Amino acid sequence: METAAYKLNEFRIIEDENGLLWWETHYGFGVQRRGMCFIHNDILIIGPCTHEEIGYLKGEFLDLLEKLPLWHKTKHYCFASELLDVASGRSLDQDFLDRISFSVSIGSNRAGPIADGDPGAFRLGNYQITVTPNGEIAWQTHGGMNRVIAGQCTNQSGVLFIGSEEQEKERASKEDFFRKLDTLPRWDRTKIWSRCLALRPCHPFHQEAKPPAARHKDLGPWESDHANEKHPLIYKQQLRSEVRSSFPYRFRSCKFSWSRSHLHLPFRFGKQSWCLLRKVTFWSISLILLVIARLLVRLILSLHSVKERLHRFHSSEEHHHK
């Protein structure tokens, strides 16, 4: 039983009586998808789709969202499919999400062991992560054509986010770069990492007014200080989130159930009406196939009749000449 519901972009975030969080969104034509959410410090992680059923139409679902309060328990959100486990390099599985959901608290935004550790260079996948003495984090990787590209990283709620490309470093061959990378120790100062633009603000146009210097500390390298302006990067994030809200996941575990009680239309069908509707659809398809079959039969018979007439005509011609 749900105790509270919130709006997050085109998602409905539901909190049940046990404190568990669920998400719902519209998909396709009159279909709803559903899955679990997990709070990791100050990030809401939207888990994979676990259920699919008949639900609201698009307009009805959006009207329902407009009546809900905005999600306010975290400042950011992201999808679990975009987060990677540092140890395995793969997307977060259900067990990992369950562990982090019970091991952290809401609202914690501490820097964690990155700021506390010594500076140095580390290996994370195909990236070289460098921690400077003043606590800044940068990345390097090979960009092809003997190019080494680089950029900045940010630590948000204990998750390492790799920002966009900002500059080109010294030139080096691919073999030399990865040979040097293999000599570095593995990155172990965070358990989760992701690439750029995976972290999304929950309300990019409704952030609290702060001094520019205070806001700058809370923003990643890809966010703008002018949160209320129509910044192109924020528009890009919003467009990506809108696309993912229609197709948030491509998971094979989604189960489809024909639940008539969740179908909200301007008119309602009773049980007998639903049976009648399915029968009408079946008989309509059957009738179309029957008409096509009859047309094919008539065409075959017509061709056969023409062939018979031609045969008789040639026979009469031969008999006449004889």
Least confident of 9-23, 31-45, 260-274, 304-318: 260-274
- The DSSP string of 81-139 is GG-EETTT-SB--HHHHHHHHHHS-TT----THHHHSPPEEEEETTEEEEE-TTS-EEE
**101 in any annotated domain:** no
What was the pLDDT predicted at 212? 46
Pair (66, 207) in one structural domain: yes
Pair (12, 75) in one structural domain: yes
Burial 227-265 (b: 16+ CB within 10 A, else e): beeeeeebeebbeebeebbeebbeeeebeeeeeeeebee
**93 in any annotated domain:** no
Pair (66, 202) in one structural domain: yes
Report which of 161, 210, 159, 217 is spatially closest to residue 189, judged by C-alpha positions.
159
The count of domains in the chain is 3
Pair (248, 184) in one structural domain: no
Decide which of 136, 170, 193 is a domain's last residue. 193
Report which of 23, 41, 40 is spatially closest to residue 32, judged by C-alpha positions.
23
**266 in any annotated domain:** no
In percent, the amount of the chain with pLDDT more than 70 equals 68
Decide which of 215, 239, 261 is a domain's last residue. 261
**29 in any annotated domain:** yes
Pair (78, 205) in one structural domain: yes
φ, ψ for residue 125, nearest 5 deg: 65, -125
Contact 61, 55 (CB under 8 A): yes
Q: Which domain holds residue 286?
A: 272-322
Pair (42, 18) in one structural domain: yes
The whole-angstrom separation of Cα 78 and Cα 74 is 11
Pair (55, 202) in one structural domain: yes
Average pLDDT over residues 176-183: 94
What was the pLDDT predicted at 252? 42
Which of 110-114, 128-132, 163-167, 281-285 has the highest average model confidence (pLDDT)? 128-132
The structure tokens listed for 142 are 């090979």
Does the structure show a pLDDT above 70 at 164? yes
3-state secondary structure of 295: helix
pLDDT in tens, 219-263: 444 343 333 334 444 444 554 544 444 444 444 444 444 444 444
Does the structure show a pLDDT above 60 at 275? no
Average pLDDT over residues 157-168: 91
Grade residue 102 by pLDDT with cuts at 50, 70 and 90.
low
Q: What is the DSSP letter of 80?
A: G
Range 248-251 contact pairs with CB under 8 angstroms and sequence separation of 24 or more: 248/25, 248/33, 248/46, 248/49, 248/79, 249/33, 249/35, 249/48, 249/49, 249/79, 249/81, 251/48, 251/49
Average pLDDT over residues 171-182: 92
Regarding pTM above 0.75, the answer is no
In percent, the amount of the chain with pLDDT more than 90 equals 41
**107 in any annotated domain:** no
**46 in any annotated domain:** yes
Q: Give the side-chain half-sphere CA count within 13 A for 307.
A: 6
**104 in any annotated domain:** no
What was the pLDDT predicted at 263? 45
Report which of 137, 237, 158 is spatially closest to residue 196, judged by C-alpha positions.
237
Q: What is the DSSP letter of 289?
A: H
What was the pLDDT predicted at 188? 92
Q: What is the largest CA-CA distance in the chain?
A: 114
The whole-angstrom separation of Cα 143 and Cα 139 is 12
Q: What is the DSSP letter of 258?
A: -
What was the pLDDT predicted at 24? 95
The whole-angstrom separation of Cα 269 and Cα 30 is 15
**234 in any annotated domain:** yes
Pair (213, 65) in one structural domain: yes
| Alpha-carbon torsion, ordered 112, 115, 121, 126, to 10 deg | 40
Pair (65, 202) in one structural domain: yes
Pair (211, 232) in one structural domain: yes
The whole-angstrom separation of Cα 139 and Cα 158 is 17
Q: What are the residues facing 257 on neighbouring strands?
A: 53
Pair (22, 65) in one structural domain: yes
Pair (168, 141) in one structural domain: yes
Decide which of 218, 237, 261 is a domain's last residue. 261
pLDDT in tens, 49-75: 999 998 888 899 999 999 999 999 999
Does the structure show a pLDDT above 90 at 186? yes
- The DSSP string of 153-188 is EEEETTEEEEEEEEEE-----HHHHHHHHHTSPBP-
